């Protein structure tokens, strides 16, 4: 069973508990600037959108990495290996979703790795705007549709 | 006898047709208690948190013994707060 | 089926992996001319900076990767290709027959016609061998002259600064990274470098290099000269197509390919720095010698070679660069498109600059200085040609809201 | 620990920004935010100075929990001598700004002096500089926010700014951060304007650490469960916001109406939470669009609203068609019942203008109510108002007046003085519904007796947030008391005041206390900071803060005579509702309160009290 983060912006209140939980787990401190998930605040449209990596099948970041520092684990999650990452940032421009980012303090890139199957953001979300569920379940298709659209535009339909 | 029933916040959905501004005038049997009125309108008692009769607090515990009189206004809220 | 890949860079290795993925039984051979395991040139600056060892540059970190995947890696230079007989002659005299061939021979550093470039202590910075040579002459306090402040030069610049050398950069054009960024960004980058103690001479040519008592003497077009223990030449690269002369395979600046990365010869494909493929911004066929394009090409070529017809609709030119900590990037038609509109924001004090180029309400190009968060979204917007609608108007005055525009558009949030 | 340990001291006169270490000894005695900054103020500034002079200091202060994952841990306060009151002012705000300041590496920003020309303070991590604000002087908070983000190319900056009200010296101008969260009260925005300081923009990319992460995560997770499980914080507040009070307080006969002439508003329903959630307008969508949380808050009581596009206030102004901060209870009261206006769209628009131009809606509404009463009495005429008919119930008067007030144009200039000065000017001081010069809000003390004592003794002037006994007297939190009696209220008020002072100093939101007791709060602070932080210690800190603030006010010239209420509340009985026939029984409560506080009959802390609190 492949699990995925499924986000429902309609439930998000913009509290940023997900960013705090993520940065605590990943950086050992509360630091939204280093969170792997970010809540976009569309104040004028009364909308808050948590945004993070969708773990695309054939990941742009992974393909672009010159030193094999991004691998796919058994759950399909793309992981950055800090010991191999040289900080060239090519993945950060290659990812068309902008969900892998450079961390200037470590000189490496960072992205969501779903916390090894127990995502901290999900546990921290007070409104179930972020849930972790089986990819086969409804709702996930919608998320992937966007990724597929991006792939198709580039003429590189993903091989499943 | 006639009383006014006001149900606020999420309880508003329990008001019968004809209610306006979260209030409705009702003809209830003489001696009806707060509990009688609420039960009659299927208002879940466990979420009746703040009950005011003519603006004066009525503890939920006395809802079934407190009788209303002609002209009373019964206003009820679920658990809410502000400030 | 025997797939032969000429070139052991990223395009070649990614192609090999994809061929294996899609054709479990094929024979796959990679032929590379350098005496190293397949490695990434992108990683060389980090090797120079001492961040990684040589093994950190290897394209596949698993030691048994090629063997485990049944990929034969040969270290020898190809001499000639004979498409009629589907055969390659190697420089060791042997021949290799192929069913499908991928040309992924990459590019080589240009040596401009300047006297003295053959002297000891003058090196390109392109191969692992170059890197080793540079390491020998670039210690703390050494005088080093860097010729060229293009993309590659600017990446090496950071590594040299980290080594503690006394660095002077000489660029013949009027600004740094002239083919990646505009005057504003180039000037900002120069000022940044000078703030960090690096001399940058733009609009200056190296006229010649001569040996002196202490090392080298670099003569400049200004009439002055610079002492150097090491001169690093980063004057650009050119596709490696010389060996194709007489093969009948069409070449121009690189190997000409069609929308499926096929060359003019049957069963011969090209990918990466050697391929002159479609640039999605211009619609024209040109060489885009960058890592992500090599990766895209490698994958698409492999799919086609394996019989899964996959079009290549075009690659996006893009670059990212860190120069002594200042991150710059550019995407697509960063100089703008005909009839398009442009939004620019510049904060000289903070070393931040963002320029967006639109074609109607679609993003066509972008460049950024000092901005890294969610920057890949620029690629996403350009590549998907997403119509920004009202968000385009917002971006015209607030280009920094690019990521918001993308997320909102993808979520169907239309501003009032 | 939850502190970065760094304070930035900005001298606007000299144009210098000098970092210094946080005084940890004081932090141990005053916790943070309200308490700690008040300590700095009292130590460094003569309380007698003119609040609008360069001698006034202003401190933007976070609490030790600000920037952590403790629920609601995102708050900050602005501490200064209030422009409106001349008393110590502490205005507390949510949003995201406070946490961002911590992430930039600063616990507090201390501002001194006055810039010679408009500036804004730009804080990007450890880079702090004063920059020219001449391009944004005269702009609204909203335009300033956008301008700064664009200027620095960073949409993730958070900006705290004054609008034109603060520039124009409106004495109840507030400081608005994140577009619609505000340090609203006591005229802190006027102080900021007097210093030629337009805004403080912050971007922080650093982290906040706590003393004991394991204990902290355990304590905060448990406390969040309490909030989620409590029907008020888990459901009532997020769904209806604070505005749900409108009908409750009206039913209870304590809704100040038309300048406190009445205690019930006949059109209350039209301006209530229920009305905000009901379909309206041509699109059939309600005024309320969604709820919003402040940083780290798991309650999310904030209202995001829209004005109906066809409403007269905005029909030709598409720039107001978007969503923004909607009505909270006090604002809805001030812009509604206080002035007798029932047009929800007009209220929402007026609230937008208050946010956009940095106006405290409570003081504005109350001042307008007093002006309306004087207009009705003929003391103020069309001559003074420039033809604007200041009639109770007039939405047009409300929306025009709020625009004029921000701009300080026409009669708006007079309204900007606040109710006390306005009523004094027109010879009707008894019509000013103020304490120590500050307009008190949406609870009539005749119907909620404890609030009368709370208003009278609040250290920043008339204010509901220093001891929100409404929680007990009306809502039954933590336990129900009778709102119509004075018995027991002095003790209740003191307990609320002390606990609130501690909560206001922690970085948390006072709304958590609808569900949390100090037993829930103490473990979170204890894990956050070094040393032992028990409930008792927190309450002692709260009492210390209260007395420190009192000392400031006494030195500033206030006396027991100022611990009073408008005569209307003391002498004129409520006309309707449960409180019919009652006046505010302040005289029955005040002496007992002084005694409980350990103060003399003159309201001065005894030396015994001071030494007990180590003051």
| pLDDT above 80: residue D242 | yes
D378-394: average pLDDT: 97
Substitution target in D4, D64, D98, D103 with the highest count of A β-carbons within 10 Å is: D103
pLDDT, block means (10 residues), chain A with 160 residues: 88 98 97 97 94 91 93 93 95 96 95 96 97 73 60 45
Provide the token pair at C281: 């911004």
pLDDT digits (tens, 9 = 90+) for D198-227: 999 999 999 999 999 999 999 999 999 999
- Would you report the helix, strand and coil content of chain B in percent, each value rounded to 5? 25, 30, 45
* A159 occurs within a structural domain: no
* A65 occurs within a structural domain: yes
> Which DSSP letter does residue C244 get?
G
pLDDT digits (tens, 9 = 90+) for C48-65: 999 999 999 999 989 899
Contact C228, C215 (CB under 8 A): yes
Between D344-357 and D361-376, two packed helices, what is the crossing angle to 10 degrees?
120
D593-615: average pLDDT: 97
- Give CATH superfamily name and number for C122-233: FAD/NAD(P)-binding domain (3.50.50.60)
List chain D residues with CB under 8 Å of C399: 153
**Helical (H) or strand (E) element with D7:** strand D6-11
Substitution target in C184, C328, C413, C416 with the highest count of D β-carbons within 10 Å is: C416
Residue-level pLDDT at C413: 83
* A73 occurs within a structural domain: yes
List, in order of start, the domains of chain B with CATH numbers. 2-77 (3.10.20.30)
Q: Is D169 found in the same domain as D23?
A: yes
Provide the token pair at D378: 């003929």
Min CA distance, A45 vs chain C (Å)?
6
D149–C345 C-beta distance less than 8 A:
no
Provide the token pair at D255: 């809704």
* A15 occurs within a structural domain: yes
What CATH number corresponds to the domain at position D567?
Answer: 1.10.599.10
Structural domain range at position D303: 239-435
Q: Is D462 found in the same domain as D415?
A: no
- Give CATH superfamily name and number for C2-107+237-305: FAD/NAD(P)-binding domain (3.50.50.60)
**Where are the alpha helices (H) located in B1-83, listed in sequence order?**
34-40
| pLDDT above 80: residue D121 | yes
pLDDT digits (tens, 9 = 90+) for D297-313: 999 999 999 999 999 99
Q: Which residues contact C396 (CB under 8 A, 6 or more apart)?
A: C341, C343, C358
List chain D residues with CB under 8 Å of A120: none
D131-148: average pLDDT: 98
Contact D44, D513 (CB under 8 A): no
- What does the alpha-carbon distance between residue D241 and residue D351 come to, in Å, rounded to a whole number? 15
Q: Which residues contact B66 (CB under 8 A, 6 or more apart)?
A: B33, B34, B53, B58
Which of D371, D405, D435 is a domain's end point? D435
| D204, D208, D300 ranked by CB distance to A13: nearest | D300
- What does the alpha-carbon distance between residue C11 and residue D519 come to, in Å, rounded to a whole number? 63
Min CA distance, A154 vs chain C (Å)?
6
| pLDDT above 90: residue D255 | yes
Task: Please give the ipTM for the structure prediction.
Answer: 0.94
- What does the alpha-carbon distance between residue A85 and residue A107 come to, in Å, rounded to a whole number? 9
Strand partners for D438: D435
What CATH number corresponds to the domain at position A137?
Answer: 3.30.70.20
- Alpha-carbon separation of residue C24 from C17, C66, C70, C298, C308 (angstroms): 10, 14, 9, 17, 14
Number of domains in chain A: 2
List chain C residues with CB under 8 Å of D153: 345, 347, 350, 352-354, 371, 399-400
**Helical (H) or strand (E) element with C37:** none
- What does the alpha-carbon distance between residue C17 and residue D301 come to, in Å, rounded to a whole number? 53
Q: Is D186 found in the same domain as D116?
A: yes
The rounded Cα B10 to chain-centroid distance in angstroms is 13
Residue-level pLDDT at D239: 92
Contact C77, C71 (CB under 8 A): no
A to C CB pairs, distance under 8 Å: 163
Substitution target in D149, D153, D305, D324 with the highest count of C β-carbons within 10 Å is: D153
Residue-level pLDDT at C301: 97
pLDDT confidence bin for C416, thresholds 50/70/90: low
Residue-level pLDDT at A142: 55
Alpha-carbon dihedral C62, C67, C73, C74, rounded to 10 degrees: 130
What CATH number corresponds to the domain at position D197?
Answer: 3.60.9.10
Angle at C243 between CA C242 and CA C248, to 5 degrees: 95
**Cβ–Cβ contacts within 10 Å for residue D521, how many?**
24
C220-245: average pLDDT: 96
Residue-level pLDDT at A159: 33
By DSSP bridging, strand C27-32 and strand C2-6 are parallel
Contacts of A among chains (3+ CB pairs under 8 A):
C, D
Cβ burial, residue C339 (10 Å; 0-12/13-18/19+): exposed
C408–A98 C-beta distance less than 8 A:
no
Residue-level pLDDT at A160: 33
Residue-level pLDDT at D282: 74
Q: Is C276 helix (H, G, I), strand (E, B) or coil?
A: strand
| A13, A23, A34 ranked by CB distance to D291: nearest | A13
The length of chain A is 160
Min CA distance, B50 vs chain D (Å)?
7
* A70 occurs within a structural domain: yes
Q: Is D473 found in the same domain as D388?
A: no
Which of D381, D407, D435 is a domain's end point? D435
Q: Is D179 found in the same domain as D271?
A: no
Contact D569, D583 (CB under 8 A): yes
Delimit the CATH 3.50.50.60 region(s) of chain C: 2-107+237-305, 122-233
Q: Is D194 found in the same domain as D54?
A: yes
Structural domain range at position A135: 1-52+117-149
| D150, D153, D321 ranked by CB distance to C416: nearest | D321
Provide the token pair at D321: 């068609």
Q: Is D431 found in the same domain as D450?
A: no
Contact between chain B and chain C (3 or more Cβ pairs less than 8 Å apart): no
Provide the token pair at D104: 């930039």
Contact between chain C and chain A (3 or more Cβ pairs less than 8 Å apart): yes
C403–D155 C-beta distance less than 8 A:
yes
List chain D residues with CB under 8 Å of B55: 251-253, 577-578
Provide the token pair at D421: 């000065």
* A155 occurs within a structural domain: no
Q: Which residues contact C349 (CB under 8 A, 6 or more apart)?
A: none
Q: Is D418 found in the same domain as D492?
A: no
Residue-level pLDDT at A138: 47
A86–C407 C-beta distance less than 8 A:
no
- Alpha-carbon separation of residue D389 from D348, D363, D432, D531 (angstroms): 21, 20, 20, 60
pLDDT confidence bin for C415, thresholds 50/70/90: confident
Provide the token pair at A145: 């549709």
What is the phi/psi pair of residue B60, to 5°? -50, -30
What CATH number corresponds to the domain at position D263?
Answer: 1.10.569.10
Alpha-carbon dihedral D336, D337, D339, D340, rounded to 10 degrees: 100
D480–B8 C-beta distance less than 8 A:
no
Number of domains in chain D: 3
| pLDDT above 60: residue D418 | yes
Q: Which residues contact C319 (CB under 8 A, 6 or more apart)?
A: A93, C151, C180, C290, C329, C330
D464-479: average pLDDT: 95
Residue-level pLDDT at A14: 97
Q: Is D607 found in the same domain as D552?
A: yes
pLDDT confidence bin for B83, thresholds 50/70/90: confident
C36-52: average pLDDT: 93
> Which DSSP letter does residue A67 get?
T
Contact C57, C128 (CB under 8 A): yes
**Where are the alpha helices (H) located in D408-459, listed in sequence order?**
411-415, 419-425, 449-457
- What does the alpha-carbon distance between residue C23 and residue C6 come to, in Å, rounded to a whole number? 19
> Which DSSP letter does residue A159 get?
P
Cβ burial, residue C349 (10 Å; 0-12/13-18/19+): exposed
Q: Is D253 found in the same domain as D181?
A: no
Q: Is D202 helix (H, G, I), strand (E, B) or coil?
A: strand
List chain D residues with CB under 8 Å of B21: 269-270, 274
Contact D208, D103 (CB under 8 A): yes
**Cβ–Cβ contacts within 10 Å for residue D98, how many?**
34
DSSP code per residue over C161-180 = HHHT-EEEEE-SSSSSSTTT
Q: Is D340 found in the same domain as D254?
A: yes
> Which DSSP letter does residue D68 get?
S
**Cβ–Cβ contacts within 10 Å for residue C205, how many?**
17
| pLDDT above 50: residue D407 | yes
A153–C374 C-beta distance less than 8 A:
no
Contact between chain A and chain D (3 or more Cβ pairs less than 8 Å apart): yes
Q: Where are the beta strands (DSSP E) in C260-415?
A: 268-270, 275-278, 285-287, 318-323, 326-332, 341-347, 352-359, 362-369
DSSP code per residue over C65-108 = HHHHTTEEEEE--EEEEETTTTEEEETTS-EEE-SEEEE---EE
| pLDDT above 50: residue D479 | yes
**Helical (H) or strand (E) element with C62:** none
Q: Is D270 found in the same domain as D417?
A: yes
Residue-level pLDDT at A157: 37
Provide the token pair at C220: 């400049």
Cis-peptide, bond into residue C396, ω within 30° of zero: no
Residue in chain A lying closest to D102 (CA): A31
* A156 occurs within a structural domain: no
Q: Is A66 found in the same domain as A104?
A: yes
Contact D533, D525 (CB under 8 A): yes
pLDDT digits (tens, 9 = 90+) for C70-103: 999 999 999 999 999 999 999 999 999 999 999 9
| pLDDT above 90: residue C18 | yes
List chain A residues with CB under 8 Å of C14: 63
- What does the alpha-carbon distance between residue D452 and residue D469 come to, in Å, rounded to a whole number? 10
* A158 occurs within a structural domain: no
Pick among 3.50.50.60, 3.40.640.10, 3.30.390.30, 3.30.210.10: CATH of C325-410:
3.30.390.30
- Single out the residue of C327, C290, C286, C325 nearest to residue C181, CA to CA: C327
- What does the alpha-carbon distance between residue D370 and residue D347 come to, in Å, rounded to a whole number? 18
Q: Is C278 helix (H, G, I), strand (E, B) or coil?
A: strand
């Amino acid at each position: 069973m492949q699990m995925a983060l499924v986000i429902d912006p309609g439930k998000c209140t913009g509290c940023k508990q997900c960013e705090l939980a993520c940065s605590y787990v990943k950086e050992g401190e509360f630091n939204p600037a280093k969170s792997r998930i970010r809540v976009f605040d569309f104040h004028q449209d009364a909308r808050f959108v948590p945004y993070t990596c969708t773990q695309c099948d054939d990941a742009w970041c992974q393909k672009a990495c010159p030193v094999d520092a991004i691998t796919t684990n058994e759950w399909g999650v793309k992981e950055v290996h800090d010991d191999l990452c040289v900080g060239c940032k090519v993945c950060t421009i290659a990812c068309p979703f902008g969900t892998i980012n450079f961390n200037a303090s470590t000189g490496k890139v960072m992205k969501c790795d779903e916390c090894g199957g127990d995502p901290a953001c999900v546990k921290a979300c007070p409104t179930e705007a972020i849930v972790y569920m089986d990819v086969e379940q409804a709702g996930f298709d919608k998320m992937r549709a966007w990724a597929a659209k991006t792939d198709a535009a580039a003429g590189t339909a993903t091989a499943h | 006898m006639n009383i006014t029933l006001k149900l606020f916040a999420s309880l508003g959905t329990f008001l019968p047709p004809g209610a306006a501004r979260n209030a409705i005038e009702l003809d209830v049997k003489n001696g009806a208690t707060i509990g009688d009125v609420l039960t009659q309108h299927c208002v879940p008692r466990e979420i009746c948190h703040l009950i005011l009769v003519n603006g004066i607090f009525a503890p939920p515990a006395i809802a079934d013994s407190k009788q209303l009189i002609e002209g009373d206004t019964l206003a009820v809220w679920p658990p809410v707060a502000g400030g | 089926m025997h797939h032969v890949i000429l070139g052991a860079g990223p395009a070649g290795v990614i192609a090999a992996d994809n061929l294996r993925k899609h054709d479990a039984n094929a024979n796959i051979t990679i032929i590379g001319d350098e005496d190293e395991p397949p490695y990434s040139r992108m990683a060389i600056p980090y090797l120079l900076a001492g961040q990684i060892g040589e093994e950190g540059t290897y394209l596949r970190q698993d030691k048994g990767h090629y063997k485990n995947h049944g990929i034969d890696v040969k270290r020898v230079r190809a001499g000639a290709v004979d498409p009629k007989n589907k055969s390659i002659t190697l420089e060791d005299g042997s021949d290799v027959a192929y069913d499908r061939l991928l040309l992924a021979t990459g590019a080589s550093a240009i040596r401009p016609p300047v006297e003295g470039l053959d002297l000891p202590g003058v090196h390109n910075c392109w191969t692992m061998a170059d890197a080793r040579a540079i390491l020998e002459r670039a210690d703390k306090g050494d005088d080093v002259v860097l010729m060229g402040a293009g993309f590659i030069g600017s990446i090496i610049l950071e590594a040299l600064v980290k080594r503690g050398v006394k660095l002077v950069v000489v660029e013949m054009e009027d600004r740094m990274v002239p083919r990646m960024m505009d005057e504003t960004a180039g000037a900002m980058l120069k000022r940044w470098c000078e703030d960090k103690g690096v001399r940058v001479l733009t609009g200056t040519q190296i006229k010649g290099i001569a040996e002196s008592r202490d090392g080298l003497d670099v003569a400049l077009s200004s009439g002055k000269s610079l002492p150097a223990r090491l001169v690093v030449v980063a004057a650009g690269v050119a596709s490696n197509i010389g060996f194709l002369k007489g093969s009948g395979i069409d070449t121009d600046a690189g190997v000409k390919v069609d929308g499926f990365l096929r060359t003019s010869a049957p069963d011969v494909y090209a990918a990466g720095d050697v391929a002159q493929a479609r640039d999605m911004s211009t619609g024209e066929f040109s060489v885009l010698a960058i890592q992500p394009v090599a990766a895209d090409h490698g994958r698409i070529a492999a799919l086609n070679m394996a019989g899964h017809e996959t079009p290549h609709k075009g690659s996006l030119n893009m670059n990212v660069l860190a120069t002594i900590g200042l991150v710059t990037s550019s995407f697509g038609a960063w100089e703008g498109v005909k009839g398009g509109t442009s939004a620019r924001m510049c904060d000289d004090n903070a070393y931040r600059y963002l320029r967006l180029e639109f074609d109607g309400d679609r993003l066509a190009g972008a460049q950024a200085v000092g901005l890294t968060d969610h920057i890949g979204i620029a690629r996403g917007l350009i590549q998907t040609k997403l119509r920004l609608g009202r968000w385009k108007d917002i971006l015209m005055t607030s280009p920094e809201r690019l990521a918001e525009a993308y997320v909102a558009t993808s979520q169907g949030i239309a501003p009032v | 620990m939850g502190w970065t340990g760094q304070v930035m001291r900005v001298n606007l006169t000299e144009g210098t920004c000098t970092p210094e270490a946080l005084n940890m000894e004081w932090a141990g005695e005053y916790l943070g935010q309200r308490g700690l900054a008040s300590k700095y103020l009292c130590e460094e500034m003569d309380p007698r100075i003119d609040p609008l002079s360069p001698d006034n200091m202003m401190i933007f202060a976070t609490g030790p929990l600000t920037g952590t994952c403790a629920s609601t841990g995102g708050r900050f306060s602005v501490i200064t001598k209030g422009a409106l009151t001349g008393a110590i002012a502490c205005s507390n705000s949510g949003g995201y700004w406070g946490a961002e300041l911590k992430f930039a590496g600063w616990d507090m920003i201390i501002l001194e002096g006055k810039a010679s020309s408009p500036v804004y303070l730009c804080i990007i991590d450890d880079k702090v500089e004063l920059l020219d604000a001449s391009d944004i002087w005269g702009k609204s908070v909203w335009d300033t926010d956008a301008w700064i983000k664009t200027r620095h190319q960073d949409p993730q900056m958070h900006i705290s700014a004054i609008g034109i009200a603060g520039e124009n010296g409106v004495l109840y101008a507030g400081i608005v951060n994140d577009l619609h969260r505000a340090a609203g009260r006591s005229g802190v925005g006027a102080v900021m304007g007097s210093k030629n300081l337009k805004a403080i923009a912050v971007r922080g990319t650093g982290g906040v650490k706590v003393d004991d992460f394991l204990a902290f995560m355990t304590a905060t997770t448990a406390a969040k469960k309490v909030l989620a499980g409590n029907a008020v914080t888990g459901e009532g507040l997020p769904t209806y916001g604070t505005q749900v009070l409108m009908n409750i307080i009206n039913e209870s006969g304590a809704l100040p109406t038309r300048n406190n002439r009445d205690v019930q508003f006949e059109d209350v329903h039209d301006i209530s939470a229920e009305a905000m959630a009901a379909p309206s307008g041509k699109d059939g969508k309600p005024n309320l669009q969604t709820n919003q949380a402040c940083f780290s808050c798991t309650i999310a009581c904030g209202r995001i609203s829209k004005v109906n596009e066809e409403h007269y206030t905005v029909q030709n102004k598409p720039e107001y068609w978007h969503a923004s901060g909607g009505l909270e209870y006090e604002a809805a009261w001030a812009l509604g019942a206080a002035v007798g206006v029932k047009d929800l769209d007009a209220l929402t628009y007026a609230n937008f203008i208050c946010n956009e131009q940095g106006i405290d809606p409570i003081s504005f509404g109350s001042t307008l109510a007093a002006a309306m009463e004087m207009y009705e009495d003929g003391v103020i005429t069309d001559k003074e108002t420039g033809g604007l008919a200041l009639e109770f119930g007039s939405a047009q008067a409300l929306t025009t007046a709020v625009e004029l007030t921000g701009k300080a144009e026409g009669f708006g200039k007079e309204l900007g003085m606040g109710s006390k000065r306005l009523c004094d000017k027109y010879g009707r001081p008894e019509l000013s519904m103020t304490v120590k010069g500050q307009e008190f809000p949406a609870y009539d003390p005749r119907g909620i007796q404890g609030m009368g004592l709370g208003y009278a003794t609040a250290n920043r002037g008339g204010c509901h947030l220093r001891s929100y006994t409404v929680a007990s007297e009306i809502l039954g939190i933590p336990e129900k008391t009778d709102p119509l009696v004075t018995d027991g209220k002095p003790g209740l008020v003191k307990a609320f005041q002390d606990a609130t002072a501690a909560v206001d100093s922690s970085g948390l939101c006072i709304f958590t206390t609808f569900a949390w007791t100090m037993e829930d709060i103490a473990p979170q602070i204890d894990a956050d900071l070094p040393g032992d932080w028990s409930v008792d210690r927190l309450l002692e800190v709260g009492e210390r803060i209260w007395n420190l603030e009192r000392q400031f006010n006494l030195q500033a010239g206030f006396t027991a005579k100022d611990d009073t209420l408008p005569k209307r509340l003391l002498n004129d009985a409520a006309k309707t509702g449960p409180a019919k026939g009652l006046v505010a029984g302040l005289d029955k409560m005040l002496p007992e309160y002084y005694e409980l506080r350990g103060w003399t009959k003159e309201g001065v802390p005894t030396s015994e009290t001071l030494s007990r609190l180590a003051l």
